[in-house]
Structure 1
């Protein structure tokens, strides 16, 4: 997964295998990102539905073997929009259908059209396939500083770590030896119980909000 930030946008991109498991993986990633950005529940719910439909549609497209699905989540501070993009290597362009009451499928893009502020399809620059995108109005969410992953032993007091989906300030750090000589780190947090993890376990870290 790649994270990029600038003065006006913040984005996260990743590539997912062509597997049904990629739909919940994309949804979980989106949930984590929008939680960090402070999105309200309506934006979160609609964005999850949109991304699920876009990834599901991309997985149904026939493509050359081993081609992955690309996902991009971007926040535009200037426009107050959340943009979701899903790219695949397949040909053709998706079109909104009008299935009958007795037809079980074909309603994915109807949902996208109903939920999105706007949506569309772009050809991929310099490559096969296309990118289907959808935008939601999200004026209240704020892009956070870029987080990074470090080994638990590298965490320092004053930093913030992601614990059970929430960011907590580290107030103390101490090492200890577990059974069989496995080194561990105990992080005292501003709220809740201390976090005890293996010294080499990766943790998502960013600087404190006042730093």
Structure 2
């Protein structure tokens, strides 16, 4: 049976709760000896969920509920954030010059899957997201598919400048405005720096030889 670790806690409705929840997640993953693979992604997803919950109008000073479930030392993480507000969050597609409104777009790009449930007890809702370590997802990526830049992994091939290039490295960084960028190192040509949610055509495996590539005799 898969090993499952779980923690529940509440956060006050202050901006300081965002860095606090990131630190708590890191501390718990260390305590559970979880692998590092999904940790950075989980931090970003959880902080976006908490940030969204802070913006919801709620009766009184009701706190935000957080639940973290870790399976198989970080192979799978489920993050749940509950608030007492009404309505259901919707993914927005903000214009290029807009500085906000990308929280759920980022969650959609980074999470294996996500959703919204009504709270079984009390008022409000729970927004949840599942983050998988590379290779842990049960649904393989299609042979050739368009996916968010944030979900690209080393070893895959991406189609850029009219050709397939192999991904050598992937790292994330923050824009000055607070949004997430992805920097992708390639085997051929300059690297890519793009919005985490921007789509890329991807396929598994190295790129095939292109016309004009040198032929190496065995």
Q: Taking structure 2 as the reference length, what is the TM-score of the superposition? A: 0.58
Residue 121 (str. 1) matches residue 116 (str. 2): yes
Shift of 1:61: 0.1
Q: Which one of 20, 23, 30 corresponds to residue 28 of structure 1?
A: 23
| Partner-residue secondary structure (3-state), 1:48 | helix
1:10-69 CA deviation, whole Å, 9 max, x = no partner?
A: 100100100011111111000101122333333110000001000000000000111000
Aligned residues: 136
Task: Label 1:60 to 1:133 Cα distance change in 2 as closer, same or farther (>3 A).
Answer: same
Secondary structure at the aligned position of 2:38 is classed as helix
Unaligned regions of 5+ residues in structure 2, if any?
137-218
Secondary structure of the corresponding residue to residue 73 of structure 1: strand
- Name which one, 1 or 2, has greater alpha-carbon Rg: 1
Q: Are 1:17 and 2:12 an aligned pair?
A: yes
Would you say 1:68 and 2:63 are equivalent positions?
Answer: yes
Query: What TM-score, normalized by structure 1, do the two folds share?
Result: 0.60
Between the aligned partners of 2:2 and 2:43, the Cα distance in structure 1 is 26
CA contact (8 A) 2:6 2:68 kept: yes
Deviation at residue 76 of structure 1 after TM alignment: 3.1
Q: 1:37 — aligned with what?
A: 32
Q: Is the 8 A contact 1:16 1:71 kept in 2?
A: yes
For residue 77 of structure 1, report the CA deviation from its aligned partner: 4.1
